[in-house]
A and B are shown apart, each in its own frame.
Chain A
Amino acid sequence: MTWSQVAWVVIGLAAVLLLVLTWLVKPRRYALRHSAFAQRLSQSRTATLEQGRRQEVVLGHALWSRVYPGLGLSALASYTALLNAETLADGRQTVSASEGILVTFARQIIQGRYQAGFSEELLQDKVQPVVYGPTPFSFNGGLMADLKMQDYGTLVILGDFGPEAAISVKNIHDQRGEAFAATGSMASQAALFVNVDDLLLGEEAYLAPALLDPSPQAQAAALTEDLLRVGVILALVIGATLKAVGVL
């Protein structure tokens, strides 16, 4: 089977599903799975805000990578949910990344939000996008220094990281702050598992936008991911069984 034939099968299947789901299946609301992650993050951000401390959101080292595609986009989608009116008015939030394009998009998100409902002249502080350094380790050096020099209460780590993310978590814990992580790479997940209580593992990292902002579109994406997961599990089990009995 050539790639062109595969494409026609996918297009045909998509057309059938589109027709069936549009005309035959009635739309309904799906309950999103319960997650303590979003609840605890919200509590921590509220406490940080009330104590007059700062929040740090880190968007990772890459918008796109071959091994973990989409992690940078997931971080940006999650960040959109973290910019609520209270945070914008308070202004004591720093969003950082080591890749310029991520910071450019973050800046666009922030400016869009301020233009949508704030008189910027009245604000003392504004949410700031920062590049601490252009490489993972130089970025981490800058982040470590900033976490020590300013009073941070919440650190949110989203996107594509290496194991060095664990160092910044140690710094925030030393400041009696809390860390939350939804990172994708296996090295960072293993490193963060040992010192971050609130961590989204594996494909759950991609569910962060839906957990933080449970809009109908986000819930639909989460449901699609779950259905695909069930499909892949079934395919793996059937494939392994067929291989074991000698059919494949």
Chain B
Amino acid sequence: MKKILFGAITLMVGLVVLAGFFFQDPFGPALTLIYQWGLVLVAVGGLIGLGTLAAFHIRNIIQQKKGWISSAVLLAAFLFSLIAGFVLTPQNAFYRDLILNVQVPVETSLLAILAATLLYASLQLIRTRGWTPLSIAFMASAVFSMLFNLGLIQTASGTLGEQVLMFFRRLPLVGARGVLIGMALGGLVMGLRFLLSTDHPGGER
């Protein structure tokens, strides 16, 4: 019964949203209302997520699991940011400086780790994947794409050489479009699966 009810509501809401896309005049107000409800639900989900984050670290501290000191530091920072946010509000210049001057350097350091990780992984590409057509094509396209976009190779305007160069510069965009079209198709089918209640976000079977 629960499954049927859930499926019926999903189908009804999905069809109204779909109809609202094509028939904007009659379904426009309903569409706005559904979006607003959706936003409220997502916000509540976000709060539950924050509760889960706090619960995970409180559990770590109580059970004195490995790294519980890090959990204590995280919880203290979390509570400090939360209380300061409520007292000073996020629009306050001092609060923004306080948070951003910690958050931005930390995230930048993670970006640096990412750059190093990717460089190391790229050097290991052939060792990881072997000499396969896909790995060779990936490596060659990455190298040539970087070379062509460095601007070292120049041709006279209006010549065949310029057209060839432009073709190779645009080639990654063509590939990206191909991937995006495929992703759009996949997204369409995934939407249909949930609309027709073949799958449920809550996993009901």
Contacts and interface: CB of A to CB of B under 8 A. Distances in A.
Contact of A141 (B41, B106, B203): B106
- For chain B, give the interface size range: 35 or more
B190 interface: yes
B194 interface: yes
A74 interface: yes
A247 interface: no
B110 A137 contact: yes
- For chain A, give the interface size range: 35 or more
A193 B50 contact: no
A146 to B, nearest CB: 8
Interface in A58-115: 63, 67-71, 73-74, 76-77, 79-80, 83, 97, 99-105, 107-109, 112-113
Contact of B23 (A7, A113, A135): A7
A80 B180 CA distance: 26
A227 B174 CA distance: 22
Chain B contact surface mostly = helix
A27 to B, nearest CB: 15
Contact of A74 (B22, B121, B190, B198): B190
Contacts of B118: 163, 166, 191, 194
B204 A225 contact: no
Contact of B203 (A103, A113, A229): A113
B189 interface: yes
Interface string B99-123: 0000100110011011001101110
Contact of A137 (B23, B107, B203): B107
Interface of B: 19, 21-24, 41-42, 45-50, 52-53, 56, 65-67, 70, 74, 103, 106-107, 110-111, 113-114, 117-118, 120-122, 124-125, 128-129, 138, 176, 178-183, 185-194, 198-199, 201-204
